[in-house]
Copies of this chain bind each other. A is one copy, B any other.
Amino acid sequence: MSDLTLAVDIGGTKFAAGLVEPDGQVVTAERAATPQGGDAETLWRTLTSLLDRLDVPAALAGVGVGCGGPMTWPEGEVSPLNMGGWRGFPLRGRLAARFPGVPVRIHNDAVCLAVAEHWCGAGRGSAAMLGMVVSTGVGGGLILGGRLIDGGTGNAGHIGHVVVDPEGPPCGCGGNGCLEAIARGPGLAAWALAQGWSPGDAATEGDLYREEGTATARRLAADAAAGDAIALAAMARAGRALGVAIASAVNLCDLDLVTVGGGLSQAGDLLFGPLEEALREHTRMEFAGRVRVVPAALGQDAGLVGAAALVIEGDRYWRPGL
């Protein structure tokens, strides 16, 4: 048996697959754009042709998969919100048939990013951590007692649906006033537009905010950096909402660390300043005051690293007996 793990990262913008060493090093990786509007088999063929391009050894330690939610878990029938072609698609089962005899483990993509930060990134050594992604949506994963918390159904970590304003705007989940409704890129851009913001000509180069649907949020951040009052207010509103939701999570779960990744997190102090201010206002108990909020440390391979960790570090990141 090889000591390499096959890692797969399935998102609405791109598919990635790679081979990962036992220490978390990604040896080789392949990427492809997600076929927009593709049906179930088109999406599956995109994945299998990626796998064909990798030199996957005959024997593997296992297969780890991160995929957008929702999904049945741990069964891994996936219905990613932004991939209409897969509804109840047996992704774990298909991969298990292709790679028989080794564990095939799947989790939410935001959970995999949190796991990656805890294993190899900014969260190393934390006993109680929330790993967040702030982008088109707001997601996360919880590590408590040094172990990934899956909750009853694999859905722990939905920080985006902590309520920050019970009378707030409607959320994609069907509720209202959730953090995600306010702080997701498109949500904060929509708020700014409603306040009369007129998008300027921002630079669109580089790797910032490359996630689908955040182009407008990118312009918003650039306008805020240039001093536009409405854009600044929009970033402050999102930052404060993040701070309030993080405070609730810290008070409830006694966290020592929160990592924040995703495109919007690259807005820097425009977002993190108001975030810290609101967080400190709402974490006044001594234990809660120790929490640190830091940017995620891993780059574009983070999803692969976290998916591989489900197999390589299963004692910490996978529930025994599953």
Contacts and interface: CB of A to CB of B under 8 A. Distances in A.
A128 to B, nearest CB: 4
Interface stretch (A84-92, A223-231, A284-292): A284-292
A283 B156 contact: no
A255 interface: yes
A155 interface: yes
A247 interface: yes
6 contacts: A70-B287, A157-B254, A161-B251, A163-B164, A178-B251, A245-B248
B156 A150 contact: no
Contacts of A175: 247, 281-284
A155 B94 CA distance: 43
Contacts of A196: none
Given A145-B319, A240-B166, A278-B166, A285 B158 contact: yes
Copies of this chain present in the complex amount to: 2
A70 B153 CA distance: 32
A233 to B, nearest CB: 16
Interface in A253-272: 253-256
Contact of A254 (B155, B173, B240, B319): B155
Given A144-B144, A149-B144, A244-B166, A285 B155 contact: yes
Which of A247, A251, A252, A256 is most buried by chain B, counting CB atoms within 10 A of its CB?
A: A252
A175 B319 CA distance: 36
Closest 7 CB pairs of A and B: A151-B254, A174-B284, A161-B251, A156-B254, A128-B152, A155-B254, A155-B287
Interface in A118-160: 126-128, 142, 144-145, 147, 149-159
A281 B254 CA distance: 26
A150 B149 CA distance: 13
Contacts of A142: 252-253
Contacts of A284: 173-175
